[in-house]
Amino acid sequence: MLAMLLRRLFLGLVTVWIVSMIIFAGVEMLPGDSCTAFLEREAQGKLLENCREAQGLNRPAAERYFDWATSAARGDLGISANGEKSIAELVGDRLGNSLLLAACSLALGVPLAIFLGVVTGLWRDRPVDLAVSTLAIFAMTIPEFVSATVLILIFSVWLGWLPGIVLTSASAPASEFFPEIILPVLVLTMVMTAHILRMVRSSVIEVMVGDYIQMATLKGVPYWRIVFRHALPNALLPAINVVALTIAWLLGGVVVIEVVFNYPGLGRMMIDAISDRDLPVVQAIALIVATVYVCVNLSADILTMFANPRLRTLHMRRG
Amino acid sequence: MTVTSAPPQNTRLMRTLSVLRDVVSRPSGAIGLFLVVFHVVLALVSPWIVPYDYKAMNSAMMLTGPEATHWLGTDHLGRDVFTRVLLGGREALLVTGIATPIAVTWGGFVGILFGLIGGRIDEVLMRVVDAFLSLPWILKMLVLIVTFGTGVEVLIPTLAFFYGIPVIRIARAATHDVVARDFVSAARARGHSRMTIIRHELLPNVLDTLMVEGAMRWSWMLLAFSSLSFLGFGVSPPTPDWGLMIADARGFMSFAPWGVLGPVIALSSLIIGINLTADALAKALGIDRAQKAPV
């Protein structure tokens, strides 16, 4: 068990390490660097030389990668290209805002998805299932910017109930984001609920036809007792991984929603940094998002391992 | 997934037909396939049936409502919205229609190959795949697009490359399911080369999974493409594109909502059509699609 845990941790670290190399190599391969971006048209001759000298850009790539990676590991993400501000400071507020958005959507979406997933799974092919499953297909396939636009049109343009755009500044405390945050949270919740719900539904269906459920039915165990005591604990296990993937997606992939609602999160900062070619900031955000992704998936794997006795012993046997 | 050895040509055709019949026999599959075929045909013939020139501006008729001459009204530059909605899917279908087969082919090949080889090198490849998947898609794509431009010649290879990476993982997992079977061991014992084993033993068994995966990648690629053009990093104006049209018309939504609704319905119906078809195809082939999570 412990060996398995350590192995997973080690693999996670290796993945983050490979990500850091991909990010560095990727940025390295792009034409231009932070000096050409900063100096723009004056980027030639002596001026460019001096800038590169000052930022240490003329050292060999391996050496710079080592410097960047070791200081990032210590939490020092460097300085943004066009200012003297530290990236950790710039990213801090934005990361907090993105986490707020993610937390609200998760708090709303996960219980809803599990409830609807169980209901549709138990009443498979009945009207409830058909209605919810059809809605889920719509929610998960329609692009986020489309559903966001439609919701803004309905709730803020036509009905005038909710603000359609976030005007709060990035560093404002969390409480000031209400009620502006409601529409972005709704859009995220819709997409997320649809994904988790489908997963839970198919898992419930699979479990309910299992031998031990039939056995319990034949023994005369009451239906709801079978559902809650025998079926659900097994059916909900796979949901842990989907929730993990969803969290990772919430933090990295909500760029479009942040742009639509003008929400000051990490995603919009990323777009701005890419447009401005502020490469140190791009590198930092990429590394943060990738690390979160790996950590969340890792925790989900470990959680599933602890929660599922079968998986636990399986891994032990394999060594 | 059913395990079959490579069937002769005519039975393969029969099987394709029976799968197709199965897809159409489901209501969702029939609706989905109809929407997809409708959009593809529309994309092919639309240049000849549109009522107006898509870039003809008319300063006397800006943001007018739906009427007999302009069914969906006009946009902020006085261009006919109906014309632009009819033409708006062509670029998206062209780019994703070329990039999807490329992505599935290269990702599928690499996945099958490494699933067959196994061992250390396979472990290393999977870590690299994980690393790529841990980066948000939009970051990877935008960095390349901002650097190399937003033309079709940049978008196709970029989409094909990044959307092939998750296919590697799927193809590898599907290969692992068959690689330990007797007929693969037998082919190995007969001394067949890796390529022969892939062609005759593995590919026929992994193909179903790859087909479903391809249909799904197509819809996600379309999502990515239209999101990019919505953000202003996709096709460049005045080329009509749904994502771009929605972005443009959003500003006038309060008094000219038809400018948004046209492209919204067109784009949604295409993506829903692809997804319904993919779902029905997965059911017809006996592959559970619901286990997939967003990547």
Q: How many whole angstroms from its chain centre is CA A80?
A: 24
Asked if pLDDT for residue B293 goes beyond 50, the answer is no
Q: Which residue in chain B has the smallest CA separation from A11?
A: B127
Asked if pLDDT for residue B102 goes beyond 90, the answer is yes
- Tell me the Cα Rg of chain A: 24
Strands (E), chain A: none
Chain B residues touching residue A293 (CB < 8 angstroms): 133-135
Q: Which domain holds residue B142?
A: 22-47+73-285
For B89, the token pair is 């899917």
Is the overall model pTM greater than 0.90, yes or no? no
How far apart are alpha carbons A220 and A213 in whole angstroms?
11
- The answer to whether B134 contacts A270, with C-beta atoms less than 8 Å apart, is no
- Highest mean pLDDT, choosing among A22-26, A103-107, A222-226, B183-187: A103-107
- Highest mean pLDDT, choosing among A89-98, B175-184, B263-272: B263-272
Q: Name every residue in B having a CB less than 8 A away from some CB of A.
A: 127-128, 130-139, 142-143, 146-147, 219, 223, 226-227, 230-231, 243, 246-247, 250, 253-254, 257, 260, 264, 267-268, 271-272, 274-276, 279, 288, 290-291, 293-295
How far apart are alpha carbons A157 and A150 in whole angstroms?
10
How far apart are alpha carbons B40 and A70 in whole angstroms?
51
pLDDT at A32: 67
Chain B residues touching residue A142 (CB < 8 angstroms): 268, 271-272
Residue reference for tokens 């003297």: A84
The residue of A21, A34, A145 whose CB has the most chain B CBs within 10 angstroms, and thus the best one to mutate to test that interface, is: A145
Asked if pLDDT for residue B291 goes beyond 50, the answer is no
What is the arithmetic mean of pLDDT over A224-238?
82
Asked if pLDDT for residue A9 goes beyond 80, the answer is yes
Tens of pLDDT along A145-161?
888 888 888 888 788 78
Q: How far is CA B8 from CA B5, B175, B197, B222, in A?
A: 9, 21, 17, 35
Chain B residues touching residue A241 (CB < 8 angstroms): 293
The CATH number of the domain holding residue B264 is 1.10.3720.10
What is the ipTM for the molecules in this complex?
A: 0.79
Quick one: pLDDT band at residue A232, thresholds 50, 70, 90?
A: confident
- The answer to whether A289 contacts B139, with C-beta atoms less than 8 Å apart, is yes
Domain count across chain B: 1
Quick one: pLDDT band at residue B140, thresholds 50, 70, 90?
A: confident
Partner B contacted by A31 (CB < 8 A): yes
- The answer to whether B294 contacts A245, with C-beta atoms less than 8 Å apart, is yes
Give the A window 35-94 contacts with B, CB below 8 Å: none
Partner B contacted by A285 (CB < 8 A): yes
What is the arithmetic mean of pLDDT over A51-56?
70
**How many CB contacts within 8 angstroms connect chain A with chain B?**
144
What is the arithmetic mean of pLDDT over B161-180?
87
Asked if pLDDT for residue A136 goes beyond 80, the answer is yes
Tens of pLDDT along B2-25?
555 555 567 778 888 888 888 888
Partner B contacted by A274 (CB < 8 A): yes
pLDDT at B294: 39
The residue of A9, A138, A146 whose CB has the most chain B CBs within 10 angstroms, and thus the best one to mutate to test that interface, is: A146
B15 occurs within a structural domain: no
How far apart are alpha carbons B230 and B222 in whole angstroms?
12
Asked if pLDDT for residue A46 goes beyond 80, the answer is no
Extents of the domains making up chain A: 95-264
Tens of pLDDT along B45-94?
888 877 777 776 776 676 677 776 777 777 777 677 788 888 888 888 99
Tens of pLDDT along B247-256?
888 878 777 7
Sign of CA dihedral A48, A54, A59, A61: negative
Tens of pLDDT along A247-280?
777 776 688 888 888 888 888 888 888 887 777 8
Asked if pLDDT for residue B98 goes beyond 90, the answer is yes
Quick one: pLDDT band at residue A115, thresholds 50, 70, 90?
A: very high
Asked if pLDDT for residue A144 goes beyond 70, the answer is yes
- The answer to whether B136 contacts A241, with C-beta atoms less than 8 Å apart, is no
Quick one: pLDDT band at residue A318, thresholds 50, 70, 90?
A: very low
- How wide is the angle at C-alpha B232 spanned by C-alphas A260 and B254, nearest 5°? 45
Residue reference for tokens 């989409």: B159
For B208, the token pair is 């179903």
Chain A residues touching residue B294 (CB < 8 angstroms): 140, 191, 195, 245-246, 249, 253
pLDDT at B8: 57
Residue B294 contacts residue A244 (beta carbons within 8 Å)? no
Amino acid at A153: L
Q: Nearest C-alpha of chain A: how many angstroms from B135?
A: 5
What is the arithmetic mean of pLDDT over A66-88?
72
Chain B residues touching residue A18 (CB < 8 angstroms): 127-128, 130-131
Chain B residues touching residue A146 (CB < 8 angstroms): 246, 264, 267-268
Tens of pLDDT along A185-195?
888 898 888 88
Quick one: pLDDT band at residue A206, thresholds 50, 70, 90?
A: confident
- How wide is the angle at C-alpha A68 spanned by C-alphas A64 and A72, nearest 5°? 170
pLDDT at A234: 81
What is the arithmetic mean of pLDDT over A177-184?
80
DSSP 8-class letter at A78: -
- The answer to whether A143 contacts B227, with C-beta atoms less than 8 Å apart, is yes
The CATH architecture assigned to A95-264 reads Orthogonal Bundle (1.10)
Chain B residues touching residue A11 (CB < 8 angstroms): 127
Asked if pLDDT for residue A55 goes beyond 80, the answer is no
Range from A104-108, B105-109, B138-142, B272-276 carrying the lowest mean pLDDT: B138-142
B16 occurs within a structural domain: no
pLDDT at B270: 92
Partner B contacted by A177 (CB < 8 A): no
